Amino acid sequence: MRTTRTGSVIALVMSAAMVLTACGGSDRASSGASNGGAATGAENKVVLISRQDPGTLDYTTSLQTALLNWVPGNVVEPLLTMDDKGEIGSGLADVEVNDAYTEYTFTLRGNKFSDGSPITAKDVVFSLTKMKESPIANWAGAFAKVTSIEAVGEEQVKVVLEQPSQAFIRGMTSVPGLIQPEAAFGQIATAPIGSGPYVIAEYVQNSRIVLKTNPNYSGKKPAIEEAEIRIISDGAAALNALKSGEADGMPLIQNDMWEQLKNQKLDETMTLLQNPAMGEKQYLVLNADGANTKNPEVRRAFAQAIDREALVAAVNADWAMVPTCDYGLETDPWVEKASPDTCPAPEDPATAATLADKLGLGSAPSRFVSLSDVPDLSLPADVLIEQFKAAGITVDREAIDLARYSQTIFQGRPPQFEVTNMSDPAGITQFACPDPQSAGWTTYCSSELNDLIVRADAARDAAEYDELLSQANEILKKDMVIVPLTYTYGIGLAKPNLKNAGAPSVVFQEIPVYEMSW
C-alpha cells in the first residue's frame, strides 16, 4: 500500500551536518509550447537527469541525495507507511503495539522480493539490524531505544523498546525500515534487491542508472516500465539535454543553474516542478563560544541586521525560495510564514546599529568562515557581509573550499569560526545535545531544547510530537545561535506531457518514478 505524505522523517538524534539537497510537491504548468514526446519515442519509457553519481547504492551506509532519489520507494520498500496527517499504516507488514508503546509485533503480508523469493521474518530482522548498526546517524538513530529485534516464526517479528519512541515508529515508514533479502546483501552496492515497483537493471558509475519494472511487484504496475537516469554533472550540458529533447526531465535542479534555466526560458517551454519539502533550509551560525558571539546581545545584533528578502532577491528566484525564521521543513505543521511576529529578531538595522556601536563590533571583527566553491552558499555570504557592514558590524571573511571547510567547521574541535552560513535538509532534531561535550559543529547545546526533543520522541501521537517540536523551535529562536535565513524548494523541469513528474515522495526524498506516465 502506498500512502502519500508531505513531511519527511528524520531520526530523532543529532545528525551529521550535510552539504546535500529532503516530501510533497506540485507542478506549475508552463504556458509555452510542448517539448514533444518521450526522448526514447516510447510511451512506457522515460529519460531523467541527475547531476550527481551516488557512488554506491548501499543505502545502509550512505545518505547521498543521488542514491535516495532513486532507491527507496522505487526499488526497496519499508515495513510501514505514513499518510500526510502523520498516521501510520500497513506497508510490507501489519503492526500491533502494546498499551505501553514498547512492543511492536510486525506480521508480514505475503509479499515477494523482485528475485521471486518470499519476504521472511529472518529478512526483516537482518534488515532492521543492519540499519541499527548503520554508520549513518539518521538511520541508526531510529533504533536508539530498541533493546531487541527477534523473529517470532516465519512471518512475525517482535521489536522491544525501553520506552516509547516516535523515531522508531516513524523510521519504520522511511529509510530505516527498508527491507532487503539477507541472501542478496552482497550486491547492495550496485544492485540492491527489494520489493518495490522497480528493479535496478543497470548501474554504471558516472553514466547511468536504469530502472525496469519488477515482475513480482504486488501493487499496481507502473505506467513507466523503464527509466534511465542519466548522470550529467555539468549543469549547462544537463540543460542542453533538456532543451534538445534528449531527456524528458530533471527532477532536481541546483540553484546555480536557476539563472540559466530562466535565461533559456526553459520554465516557459517545460513544466516547472516546485517541491516544497524536497528542499532545504539555509541558516547563519553564530559560535556559542566565540570571543564576540558568545554574548547573546552580539548575536541579536547580527540577527537584526539580516534582510531575508534581500537574500531571496539576490538569486532572483522568489518562485523557488522564501524567507524563513523556523527550523523545520515548510510542510511541518508548526512552521509559520516569516514575519516580524514569527522572527525572534526581525530585521531592524537601526537597532542592530545601536547594539553594534554599544558593543564595539565595528572595532572588534568577528571571523566569518564561508565556502568559496559552493555558489548556493558563497553568494548569500556576500549579501550577509554587506548587511553586517551597513549595521556597523565588522567581519573578517575567510573564504575556503569545501574540503578545508569540512576540516575547519565540521571536524575541527573546537570548530574554528565565529560566524558561518550553511544549508541542509535535516530536521530540528539534529540540534539535540544531551551535554556540552556532545555539542556538534554548530557549538549549540541547550538542556531545555534537548529535553523537549527527548519528550517528543516519547510522544504517544503525532499531535503531541508536533507540539513538543514547536516548543523546541521557539527555544532555538530565542537563543539565536542558529539563525534561519531562507527555505529553498526542490526545483525541477519536465516535458509538459510527462504526468506526475513532481509527485510527492512516499518514503524519503525519492523521485516517484512509479507515479509518472505519458
Please give the share of the chain, as a percent, with pLDDT higher than 90: 65
Q: What is the mean pLDDT of the chain?
A: 88
Residue 1 scores a pLDDT above 80? no
What is the per-residue pLDDT for 16?
A: 31
pLDDT tens by residue, 279-291:
788 999 999 999 9
What is the per-residue pLDDT for 34?
A: 43
Question: How far apart, in whole angstroms, are the C-alpha atoms of residue 164 and residue 148?
Answer: 14
Report the phi/psi class of residue 71: left, alpha or beta, with left for phi > 0 and alpha for psi in -120 to 50: alpha
What is the per-residue pLDDT for 6?
A: 36
Query: pLDDT confidence of 277, banded at 50, 70, 90?
Result: low
Helices 462-479 and 447-457: crossing angle in degrees, nearest 10, is 170
What is the per-residue pLDDT for 36?
A: 55
Q: Which residues contact 203 (CB under 8 A, 6 or more apart)?
A: 57, 190, 191, 209, 210
Phi, psi angle pair for 139, to nearest 5°: -85, -50
Please give the share of the chain, as a percent, with pLDDT higher than 70: 92
Query: pLDDT confidence of 7, banded at 50, 70, 90?
Result: very low
Domains of the chain: 42-75+196-270+495-517 (3.40.190.10), 78-180 (3.90.76.10), 277-490 (3.10.105.10)
Written as one letter, the residue type at 400 is I
Residue 258 scores a pLDDT above 90? no
What is the per-residue pLDDT for 28?
A: 40
pLDDT tens by residue, 81-131:
988 777 899 999 999 999 999 999 999 999 999 999 999 999 999 999 999
pLDDT tens by residue, 295-336:
999 999 999 999 999 999 988 888 889 999 998 877 788 888
- Number of Cβ within a 10 Å radius of residue 87: 12
pTM: 0.80
Provide the sign of the torsion angle of the four alpha carbons 361, 364, 365, 367, taken in this order: negative
DSSP assignments along 296-353, one per residue: HHHHHHHHHT--HHHHHHHTT-TTTEEE--SSS-TTSTT-----TTT-SS---HHHHH
What is the per-residue pLDDT for 480?
A: 95
User: 22 with 292: CB under 8 angstroms?
Assistant: no
- How far, rounded to the nearest angstrom, does the alpha carbon of residue 474 sit from its chain's CA centroid? 21
Residue 236 in 3-state DSSP?
helix
Question: How far apart, in whole angstroms, are the C-alpha atoms of residue 282 and residue 17?
Answer: 12
Query: pLDDT confidence of 13, banded at 50, 70, 90?
Result: very low
pLDDT tens by residue, 339-371:
888 888 889 999 999 999 999 999 999 999 998
What is the per-residue pLDDT for 473?
A: 94
What is the per-residue pLDDT for 412?
A: 66
